[in-house]
Structure 1
Amino acid sequence: MERILGLNHSDKNMQMLCDNIPGGIFKCLFDEELTLLEMSAGFLSMTGYSYEEVEHDLHNSLRSLIQPDDLAEALKTVREQLKHGNTKEIQYRLIHKDGHYINVIDKGTLLVDEKGRQAFYCIVIDITREKKIEEELRLSLERYQIIINQTNDVIFEWDFRNNAFLTSNTWEKKFGKNLPMPAKGFDNILLHPENSPINPNDFDEVKSCIRDIQARIPYIEKKLRLKDVSGRYIWCKMRLTQKFAPDGTPLKVIGALSDIDREFQKSQTLKRKAEQDALTGMYNKITSHSLIRSYLQDKPDEVSALMIIDIDNFKSINDTLGHLYGDAVLTELSRVMRRSFRDADILGRVGGDEFIVFLKGISSVDNARLNAEKVLRLFSELRSKGKIDTFISCSIGVALYPIDGEDFTTLYRSADHALYQAKKEGKNRYAIYGSQSLRHLYPKSSPQICSETEIETPADTTSEKAEILEYIFHVLYNTKNLKQGISAILEIVGRHFDVSRVYIFENSDNSLYCRNTFEWCNEGVESQLDALQTVSYEDDLGGNFLANFNEDNIFYCSDITKLPKLQYELLNKQDIKSLLQCAITDDGEMRGFVGFDECRQNRLWTKGQIDVLVLISEILSTFLLKRRASERYRRENDGLMSVLDNQNAWIYVIDPETMEIRFLNKKSRTSSSDVYTGRHCYEVFMNRSEPCVHCPAAHLTNKCTSHTVDLFNPRLKIWFSAEATTISWKGQRSILLTCHDISRYKI
């Protein structure tokens, strides 16, 4: 009796333990209906049924509780596992009494009970929450990978320890299959330049990049040219971020190559337009003066010469033969002059009929004299060769560096004095200035000391506009705050052209709306910035506003009363009389516009003003679109990383061959101070010196792309469920590990 009472007491303790462990316990026959023989209170609570309801409503059938879509696969897996022993571990969904599904892990052992029947003794654990998290994580990683695959940037990694250079599959899309990638890093490019995809002229940039890496600079940005799939060199921006070991030793570089060729070529075209004289193609006044100043600031240890060339009696040519003929003369003169000097020399048109030539590194005064004589011959030969129908001559003033001046202002004044003397002596000749006297005059003439009166040339409005464009480039290329830079430019342009208001509107992502993002107002003009934050092209502008822009993307209206009703009403509220707007376009689609309002009177814009304002708009558009795209990509990337970092699981990506970590989410990174990419996962997470024996990654094959195991982590002292999945990470075959803490499920 005592033994019976003891067994009864032990049985009650065991029953109480079974009823209170997480999850549920049941015993079922291995028959067609998987007949339930015993169930713990935890199992009944999990499914929402009572003992009586399971017996009368479900007829003790576990089969009726399993989601039908999962049943066949679950039974198939059980039979496969029983071939290797008498245990099973499967996942399926149970149907709760109220109809919702419960994801469970079912672990059981097949035994023969006291009646000789085959029966499973099972423990089931509710993993619905974990499954939901896993699915959300999978979708997040999938979105992250899709974005990486869809970007046009080439992502690459340079591993210093293995001297390996790995790239994303976008390399092949951009540069082709046959173009060799720098498989052993940038060092190999310099050792074998003949096989390099990089333009040889940019090797200095590569050397500079290597020096920066060796100097342990954490972020590096360079521009260089790479040969694309068609064999053409295109401009790319290379951004590098270094990864370091705890002792500061560089481990690897993660980088991105962005195709900026179209953007770069456009900016270069705009820059050339701003630097060049429109008629002759030579440098304009501002640019030529700036280039000479920059050269002289370095104090070169060599003699140079500055020549000012003035066409004799050019006004009479325009008056008698017409301005078109005069333009043809200037064009032909500039063509033969450009062909007659070295590429290193600086040639510019600095006035209507005045040119400047700066000769770098001449050997002597005789060399300056020979060049001046050459220019005189060029002018005299134009008529003899039938290029023009009238006699053309010029006068030239020459000054030598450093004899006649060590800075541009002094040197230019000296050359101008010499030009004055050549004109005074009868024209069609040159004069070379000396510090005390004019040393040489051609044709023969008595040297004279020039007066100190400087000869001024007429103001050049084209040069003034070029100066504005030069200022804009300077601001945009050097500003760290785009908002402040654009605001400063709008003010300069507004004041120079004396307009009432200068502004920028940018479209919404779907281009249904636009909003005022930048604005400058002249004195006494009311700001419209706050009132124009959501302007509908359809409701506020009548749906046909874009039709106002011509084929050159310009909308010019000298009188707004002639506009459609809705457009007129909106503009009239802003006191606008006339306006000029230039579209911001990206790949042929309008993304907004830059505008200039006149609120005082109906204004007529000249062609020259329109051309300059359009050019300014194009420059602003280029920089604004670039910055907005950069901001958009950064927000998307930050959002994806935030999703990964907020998962309550250890998530990391490893190299399947070396087991080195390629990516870590926040929970993984912060698990210990010595966890970082580049280390072996088994070292940092499992405190082992070699790969884990039961690592789920070891079970992955071409057919088996996912595997889950439960492991004990001796470092964190927890049980966790580790799922390994084969993925492509940055174009490389990798393994994603997702680890959940399941310590509470372990008995």
Structure 2
Amino acid sequence: MINLLNILKLQSKKHIYGQQKGEVLTKNQRLRQFIGLFFATMITMLAIKVFDRTIEIIFFYFVISSFVCFFLYAIIKMKKSQLKSKINEERYRVTLTYISEVLFDNVLEADITKDMLFGKKTLALTDLLGIPRNSSYSATIDAISRKRIRKDFSEEYRRVLSIENIMKKFENGEKTMEYECIERLDGVNYVWIRINICIFRSEITNTVRIISYVKNIQKQKKEMEKLMEEANIDRLTGLYNKASTREMIEKFLRQNTNATYAVMMLDIDNFKKINDNFGHVFGDEVIAKMAKRLKSLFKTTDIVGRIGGDEFLVFMPYVPDITIVQARATEILRSFESFIIDDVENYNVSFSIGIFMGHGGNNFNELYHYADLALYQAKKNGKNQFYFYEL
């Protein structure tokens, strides 16, 4: 402002004394110049004051708008936090209600109505599997079935987790689903997994949603298989017990209505004398060792079971003709001509064998009955031999 006044003073001097040396202005000219200088100074000061006021107003509005923006941001963030809290609360309530084991890994959350994924853990899972984040729920399930699920389970996996199946379950009032399949860890290793799915209508979005949790159940499956095997196996001999032998034969007959097969019923000759002379402990040892040798004479596809104290049943599937069965029965008899127990004594033990050959159309009771009749005839004929039952 001082510089501006100095400039105006210099200009006034020029007007008062003139541009040429020695030139003098009249009183009226001086008065006009003075008045002009006065108004110029006042206008300049007013402009500066207005400018300062404008700066103050702009600064004031800037502060106010910043405060308003910060306040609105805080409100929006709080609303989002409240919504997230409600979603988490809803998720926890649903899982706690319908799933006994609440897991927080391998989570997949989806809005079935909108066919879309949501949730940070879901995005982490899709990133892990190499699936684009913007994929729909249907596309994600299809990708998982191709990339992670073993081939023989993939089609069923897609069907069970399809939108149509989930909506059908929900409409029928079902709140949970459970599905077990085998997942591929890499090119060689696979594990059993259990997928627990909660189905619910969200109170927030009013849409049908799911929360699914995947659990590795490989250990439980192995333990279950071991228990089932123990339940199906005769402890003394390691062969199938009577119940499992019957079950496997019946399954074969149901699935192969036109197949040929042979049934052998074997009984240890004079076993009562062994028990009477040497005791039941020794008798059990004889049964166990004879069973071991008997099993070694058959293929892994044959069913070899212990059906009674000293009785065994062998089922040979897909036998083309009788000569194969005759050769196998002869091999059994020869194998026990010299049978050593305890690696010391040479006991005279042998089998009597009843055989029935069938070609579909029979049930287990019929096979058992025909083989038993043939066994009776083999014992009647002198033991240590085989006999075929003919219809």
Within the candidate set 324, 337, 355, 1:367 is matched to 324
> Equivalent residue for 1:619?
none
Q: Which residue identity does 1:416 align to in structure 2?
A: D
1:87 aligns with 2:39: no
Shift of 1:426: 1.0
Within 1, Cα distance between the matches of 2:375 and 2:343? 28
1:325 aligns with 2:282: yes
> Equivalent residue for 2:39?
none
Normalized per residue, the structure richer in helix is 2
Contact 1:165 1:182 in 2 (8 A): no
Q: Tell me: CA distance 1:432–1:171, structure 2 relative to 1, closer, same or farther (3 Å).
A: farther
1:155 aligns with 2:113: no
SS state of the match for residue 301, structure 1? Answer: coil
Within 2, Cα distance between the matches of 1:106 and 1:398? 90
SS state of the match for residue 87, structure 1? Answer: helix
> Equivalent residue for 2:41?
none
- How many residues align? The count is 300
Q: Which residue identity does 2:306 align to in structure 1?
A: R
Within the candidate set 245, 250, 260, 1:293 is matched to 250
Within the candidate set 326, 330, 338, 2:295 is matched to 338
Q: Tell me: CA distance 1:416–1:255, structure 2 relative to 1, closer, same or farther (3 Å).
A: same
Aligned 1:332-731 pairs, distance under 5 A: 332-380=289-337, 382-383=339-340, 386=343, 389-402=346-359, 406-435=362-391
Contact 2:258 2:359 in 1 (8 A): no
Q: TM-score, normalised by structure 1?
A: 0.34
Within 1, Cα distance between the matches of 2:87 and 2:319? 65
Contact 1:372 1:396 in 2 (8 A): yes
Q: TM-score, normalised by structure 2?
A: 0.60
SS state of the match for residue 318, structure 2? Answer: strand
Q: Which residue identity does 1:421 align to in structure 2?
A: Q
Contact 1:157 1:167 in 2 (8 A): no
Within the candidate set 195, 198, 210, 2:158 is matched to 210
Contact 2:232 2:240 in 1 (8 A): yes
Q: Which has the higher contact order (CA 8 A, sep 6+)?
A: 2
Shift of 1:89: 3.4
Aligned 1:22-421 pairs, distance under 5 A: 84=62, 86-89=64-67, 139=85, 141=87, 151=103, 154-156=106-108, 168=121, 181=129, 183=131, 185=140, 197-198=148-149, 202-211=150-159, 216-218=164-166, 221-226=178-183, 233-239=190-196, 255-380=212-337, 382-383=339-340, 386=343, 389-402=346-359, 406-421=362-377
Q: Which residue identity does 2:355 align to in structure 1?
A: V
Shift of 1:358: 0.9
Q: Which residue identity does 1:353 align to in structure 2?
A: D
Shift of 1:334: 2.4
Within 1, Cα distance between the matches of 2:252 and 2:348? 36
Within 2, Cα distance between the matches of 1:385 and 1:373? 25
Deviations 1:628-658 (A, max 9, x none): xxxxxxxxxxxxxxxxxxxxxxxxxxxxxxx
Q: Which residue identity does 1:209 align to in structure 2?
A: Y
> Equivalent residue for 1:562?
none
Shift of 1:252: 11
Q: Tell me: CA distance 1:359–1:182, structure 2 relative to 1, closer, same or farther (3 Å).
A: farther
> Equivalent residue for 2:36?
none
Of the structure 1 ranges 348-357 and 290-299, higher mean CA displacement relative to structure 2 is found in 290-299
Shift of 1:213: 5.8
Q: Which residue identity does 1:89 align to in structure 2?
A: F
Within 1, Cα distance between the matches of 2:193 and 2:221? 9
Within 2, Cα distance between the matches of 1:315 and 1:291? 30
Shift of 1:319: 2.3
Within 2, Cα distance between the matches of 1:361 and 1:164? 52
SS state of the match for residue 307, structure 1? Answer: strand
Shift of 1:309: 0.9
Q: Tell me: CA distance 1:207–1:371, structure 2 relative to 1, closer, same or farther (3 Å).
A: farther
> Equivalent residue for 1:684?
none
SS state of the match for residue 129, structure 2? Answer: coil
Identity %: 27
Contact 1:217 1:242 in 2 (8 A): no
Within 1, Cα distance between the matches of 2:261 and 2:118? 48
Contact 2:268 2:310 in 1 (8 A): yes
Shift of 1:329: 2.2
Q: Tell me: CA distance 1:159–1:90, structure 2 relative to 1, closer, same or farther (3 Å).
A: closer
Within 1, Cα distance between the matches of 2:247 and 2:218? 27
SS state of the match for residue 428, structure 1? Answer: coil
Q: Which residue identity does 2:107 align to in structure 1?
A: I
Shift of 1:150: 7.1
Normalized per residue, the structure richer in strand is 1
Within 1, Cα distance between the matches of 2:274 and 2:319? 34
Contact 1:156 1:167 in 2 (8 A): no
Within 2, Cα distance between the matches of 1:210 and 1:277? 40
Contact 2:354 2:389 in 1 (8 A): yes
Q: Tell me: CA distance 1:239–1:329, structure 2 relative to 1, closer, same or farther (3 Å).
A: same
> Equivalent residue for 1:585?
none
Q: Which residue identity does 1:181 align to in structure 2?
A: L
RMSD of aligned residue pairs (Cα, Å): 4.8
